[in-house]
Amino acid sequence: MREVIHVQAGKCGNQIGQKFWETISQEHGIDVNGNYCGDNDLQLERIDVFYNEGYQGKYVPRAVLVDLEPATMDAIRASPYGKIFRPDNFINAQSGAGNSWARGYYTEGAELVESIMDVVRKEAENTDCLQGFQLCHSLGGGTGSGLGSLLLSKIREEYPDRILSTYSVVPSPKVSDTVVEPYNAVLSVHQLVENCDATFCIDNEALYDICFRTLKLTNPGYGELNQLVSAVMSGVSTSLRFPGQLNSDLRKLCVNMVPFPRLHFFMVGVAPLTAFGSQQYRNLSVPELTAQMFDARNMMAASDPRHGRYLTVATIFRGRLSTKEVENQMLAVQQKNSSYFVEWIPNSVKSSLCDIPPVGLKMSGTFIGNSTAIQDLFKRVNEQFTAMFRRKAFLHWYTSEG
């Protein structure tokens, strides 16, 4: 089996990760105590990818939970699915990184990183054939960005031939949590470019937009936003977790998506997104799913794909669909919008199919696009960074840590 080890760092990463484990535990029919209570053998067929089988058939997530302060960890331990994680895999310091990348990377993080790597090694030794790692973190805070970057470089050093993918919450233009976000983001993006194989960019503002516009929520909280992110994560990993007609793994995804090693920042989207209460008025079909997946308003990063061109696209459909219909639909998209695809990659859309839809839906689709429009995102951070760096604002917080 090709296992994936999941690492979550910082407050944001842990909250997203917690939702992700809830989502895939429901999909695999695993209850809050880690026991299997599903009704379909397919749920168990490739469960080893994300779970380890423990004592008396208990399933334990291959997750490493990391933070520099105890609060988020305690919240996860107290949550309904808190009992499912291995207690030794919670690693936290007491002081917190205080939103400073330097503290997460050099001072606080460096003290913790060896004990984290020990846990990662233990998890890696428990696998038959390790496929890779996925890391959840945000680039705005201190722990997720600083300690996250440090972990990336350590994991890359120790497992150079394994796939490293990250789900990174990038600072958004309007919704800003901290003033020093641009500094933290610039410092981490450098590490992501060097050490990582695939980065799925997620953006709070785009998530808020989806909640307001498409889901018609009045005041969405982080819970709703993380629900969307976990839908993407579950969609991306679905072809690893369930048998399907056209299957792919992390490496296949990277090979098909990354034309040049540094261009591995993807935009993601999911369909169907329907406002609560109007589900029964829609009959889902492959063309409708495709239309919503490629819709610019559906992107979870605040950059408009119509401002750039797609280098490559991967689509992952779930549900009882005919392969032929999906293939035809993808061809149609490429021919109709050929101006949005670069001409030097002739068939740039890869599709994979999986028979098992998410809980409560007949079919769904996940969209991953490698588009040149993602540069908006970095340009924005860069402008904010330059504005502050020119005046050397807040720099002493970074220089004092080394």
Query: What residues does each domain of the chain span?
Result: 2-244+376-399, 265-373
d(CA 319, CA 286): 10
Strand 63-67 vs strand 2-9: parallel, antiparallel, or unpaired? Answer: parallel
For residue 248, give both structure tokens. Answer: 């792919």
CA-nearest of 193, 355, 195, 224 to 300 is 224
Cβ density class 233-260: b for 16+ within 10 Å, e for less: bbbbbbbbbbebeeebbbbebbebbbee
pLDDT tens track, the chain, 402 positions: 688 999 999 999 999 999 999 999 999 999 999 999 988 888 888 899 999 988 888 999 999 999 998 898 999 999 999 999 999 999 988 887 888 898 888 888 888 999 999 999 999 998 999 999 999 999 988 898 999 999 999 999 999 999 999 999 988 777 777 888 889 999 999 999 999 999 999 988 889 888 888 888 888 888 888 888 999 999 888 888 887 766 678 888 888 899 998 899 999 999 888 766 666 666 788 888 898 898 888 889 888 888 899 999 999 999 888 889 999 999 998 888 888 999 999 888 888 888 888 888 888 999 999 999 999 889 988 999 999 999 998 888 888 876
In CATH, the architecture of 2-244+376-399 is 3-Layer(aba) Sandwich (3.40)
User: Is 32 in contact with 83 (CB distance < 8 Å)?
Assistant: yes
In angstroms, the Cα distances linking 84 to 4, 58, 63, 278, 363 are: 17, 9, 10, 34, 28
Which stretches of 253-293 are assigned E, i.e. beta strand?
Answer: 265-271
265-373 carries CATH number 3.30.1330.20: yes
